[in-house]
Amino acid sequence: MKEHRTYFILSLFLTLSLLLTACGSGNPKTEWELFRSEFAGIREFFTLIPVASEESAPGQTASKDRTTAPLLKTSRHKENLPSAWVPEVIYADVADTEKIGYTTVPHFASNDAETVTAALSMHGITPQIVTRRNPAPENHVYAIEYAGLSDGTAYYINTSCEVTLYVSAEKPVLPAAAADGSNVVYLSYDDGPTYTETLRLLDVLDTYGVKATFFVTGEAVQSYPAAARAIVERGHQIGCHSVTHIYDKIYASVESLEEELLQWEEIVTAAGITLDDAHKLFRYPGGSNNTAVGGTDKSKAMTDMLASHSYRVYDWNVVTNDAVLYTAPYGTDTYDYIRDTFTSTFDAKVSTGELPVIILMHETVPETIDLMPWMIETLIARGYTFGTLDKISPWMFGMD
């Protein structure tokens, strides 16, 4: 078709040139009639030439109406499947005309690999499977890669292009817990949740299939309710660490602590978390032996008050000193300091044979999350497994 247009323009140019050459003298009316006659002949010539139909591009449905037959996407992209283990999926609005030519696959009933594969097979699609270590449960499809588009109800897939499913691999095999619990350690994290570090920590824990206990503050939950919900949704345990973490306010009296406790419950409930009386945990900011508490008698009165609200108290006996990094020797790398502190205090604790082994950490410290893969792999290699504090009796300083 492009060649025809070019020929037409050249012919018209030559005709006009000849006419203009002849216009130096003569009758203008006769010259104009000659031009009209020549132009009519050229137009008739192009009218008689059949226009060759353009071939449809690969993946395009043939149609005279291009608005209802768009070129199908052939470039693949990766999308997360909605679940508690991946970032929130935000779908675009897709017009009906954009869906034409694609195979419509409704959203899957679950993220189970067999379920997703069967749903695709019903539409003639045999996906490739890529297995990777991931925070999601084993055999959980966490992403799909395909050519096409999607909205809130379905995927619109160009079936001429490969479809790939990304599936969470098996978790590391954790040692079995000994009957006396001698090889169980309890990971615990204070002062969260945070905007980014909590989810990063959850990803690490869930990648290894390890569960932990999180003592959260009410103010942090108010600021990051989604992160607080994620802790519970992913199967970890949550506990109270006051609302404000301000010693003078919390420990002014037994009544002050009780007020913070009840306010904490309101905040956590408003964030969408259900508190079960059988799993109510508490950790004193600074520990139950904190001098701000005001002595043994006052500490006992506070603990009795907590028990009246079905709360059990847990201190710790292994540390990383991630909350007091100012104690590190000058020039010491933060990661190395946290790691070495953990190693020395853990070895000292297990050498006594006293149980349980409760590790205190803070999810507000990025280097702590960086350390977790090493710590978990080291403990597994030494024959340890992991538990959550709601499974054991209360433990406070002085109970060894």
Going by C-alpha positions, the residue among 252, 313, 307 that lies closest to residue 282 is 313
The string of DSSP codes covering 33-75 is HHHHHHHHHHHHHHHHSPPPPPPPPTTPPP-S-GGGSPPPP-S
The string of DSSP codes covering 98-131 is GGTTSEEEEPPS-SBHHHHHHHHHTTT---EEEE
Q: Where are the domains of the chain?
A: 2-48, 66-168, 184-391
**Predicted pLDDT at 48:** 45
Q: What are phi and psi of 189, to 5 degrees?
A: -130, 135
Q: How far is CA 103 from CA 64, 72, 139, in A?
A: 21, 11, 25
Q: Residue 6: enclosing H or E segment and its boundaries?
A: helix 2-22
DSSP state of 22: H
**Predicted pLDDT at 2:** 47
Alpha-carbon distance of 50 to 271, in angstroms, equals 70
Going by C-alpha positions, the residue among 400, 371, 381, 398 that lies closest to residue 187 is 371
Contact 76, 147 (CB under 8 A): yes
Going by C-alpha positions, the residue among 80, 72, 153, 160 that lies closest to residue 124 is 160
And the tokens for 311? 């709360």
Alpha-carbon distance of 109 to 112, in angstroms, equals 9
> For every one of its 400 residues, what pLDDT tens digit does the chain have, with 9 covering 90 and above?
444 455 445 455 555 555 545 445 455 555 556 555 655 555 555 444 444 444 444 444 444 444 445 689 999 999 999 998 888 888 989 999 999 999 999 999 999 999 999 999 999 999 999 999 999 999 999 999 999 999 999 999 999 999 999 999 999 999 999 999 999 999 999 999 999 999 999 999 999 999 999 999 999 999 999 999 999 999 999 999 999 999 999 999 999 999 999 999 999 999 999 998 888 999 999 999 988 887 778 889 999 999 999 999 999 999 999 999 998 999 999 999 999 999 999 999 999 999 999 999 999 999 999 999 999 999 999 999 999 999 999 999 987 6
Beta bridge partners of 188: 213, 360
DSSP state of 182: T
Contact 129, 101 (CB under 8 A): no
Alpha-carbon distance of 81 to 276, in angstroms, equals 30
**Predicted pLDDT at 67:** 47
Q: How far is CA 272 from CA 137, 230, 269, 275, 358, in A?
A: 23, 10, 5, 10, 28
Alpha-carbon distance of 9 to 11, in angstroms, equals 5
Beta strand 141-146 with 77-80: parallel, antiparallel or unpaired?
A: antiparallel
And the tokens for 287? 């520990």
Alpha-carbon distance of 174 to 385, in angstroms, equals 6
Domain 184-391 sits in which CATH superfamily? Answer: Glycoside hydrolase/deacetylase (3.20.20.370)
Contact 296, 267 (CB under 8 A): no
Mutual orientation of helices 254-270 and 296-308 as an angle, nearest 10°? Answer: 40
Half-sphere exposure of 259 (CA within 13 A, CB side): 9
Q: Kindly give, in sequence order, each residue whose CB lies less than 8 Å from that of residue 38, ignoring residues fewer than 6 positions away.
A: 15, 19
On the 0-12 / 13-18 / 19+ scale of CB atoms within 10 A, 59 is middle
